[in-house]
Amino acid sequence: MESTSTTLALVTIKNQSQEYLVYSRSEILHQDVKLILLLKSQQKSTSILVVTKTMFPEVGNRLMSNEINYIDSWGNVFLMHDMAVIHQSGKKPERIKVEKPGRLFTSAGVKLLFGFLQKPDFVTLPYRYMAIETGVSVGSVGIIVKELKNAGYLIEKSPDEYYLVNRQELLERWVKAYKEVLKPSLHRKSYRFIDSDMIRNFKKFPVESWECLWGGEAAGSLYTNNLIPGKLTLFALPDFWEFQKELKILPDNQRIELDVYDIFWEPKAKWYTGNVENVVPPLIAYADLITSADSRHQEIAKQIKDEFIQIGE
């Protein structure tokens, strides 16, 4: 139940003080006016001053017509004092403008930023092609590009020419959002192999015919020839399950030897992978490995970044 309090207060105008019985309540409704009128009738010489957070206009008019003083936190006031009568009404609470959360590091933002960070010439593409290559809507592209500009990552060189700056900082933020926001939403299923030797022989799998790409440790192995994967990561086109027929796998969330994720980018968009085949673009491989708790994987990630990703300053 909402609390009500009364106390005595002095109001001084032009060096003359006048005592009021203050009736304080956070909200004054029509049903409260009857009680206030009763309180007024019990006071012989002391005027009532109603103090509230917001005085509703109709309630304020009722109080004023009964010569009951009031004041609220927004500056609405009716005060009868021996030295003056003060009246101000119509002031309303300011609407607090709630900023909508940005899209830069939402799933759509992370997908689009992948294009900017992976392809140096991505910034020159029309929005329609940006959308096709990264799997986001054209409308989202416009909003996210605007946020990129506002955040100081995309600088206008001329009306039709932009370039990406602070790329290293953007990369670090992108990697974090990729791991925490986008990648979990892409995860399809976890498996174990019936024959664990399949991990060691992963290069023999006909992933090209399955329209799949190696990510994670397998991609690190293929990009650097310097890592023996202990677990495999496969990226497949959404709703494509051809690989299941040949891999001899069982769903398993405990002894995970294979994780399958959906491809969100357009595989036919000529993403640079050097001469390495059947792998995710190097930025995805880098993000998969640099976020690993294994220091060896982090070393491989840095090697991939140095050799295959053009980040600059």
Per-residue model confidence (pLDDT) at position 1: 47
pLDDT tens for 175-232 read 999 999 999 999 999 999 998 788 999 999 999 888 899 999 999 999 999 999 999 9
**Structural domain boundaries of the chain?**
5-88, 107-172, 186-308
Q: What stretches of the chain show up as alpha helix (H) in DSSP? A: 30-41, 57-65, 107-118, 127-134, 138-150, 167-177, 183-186, 197-200, 207-210, 216-224, 244-247, 282-290, 295-308
Is-contact 250 228, C-beta < 8 A? no
Task: List, for residues 44-82, the tens digit of each pLDDT value.
Answer: 778 899 999 888 888 999 999 999 999 998 889 999 988
Return the pLDDT at 111. Answer: 97
Bridge partner list, 259: 190, 233
Fold (topology level) of 107-172:
Arc Repressor Mutant, subunit A (1.10.10)
Which pLDDT value is given to residue 98?
43
Over range 118-146, report the average pLDDT: 94
pTM of the model: 0.68
pLDDT in tens, 263-277: 999 998 889 898 899
| Model pLDDT, residue 248 | 84
As a whole number of angstroms, the distance between CA 25 and CA 128 comes to: 57
Q: Residue 179: CB partners within 8 Å, gap ≥ 6?
A: 287, 291
Confidence band for 7, pLDDT divided at 50, 70 and 90 = confident
What gap in Å lies between CA 103 and CA 100, rounded to an integer? Answer: 9
Measured between alpha carbons, how far is 153 from 105 in angstroms, rounded to an integer?
13
Report the share of the chain in percent with pLDDT over 70.
95
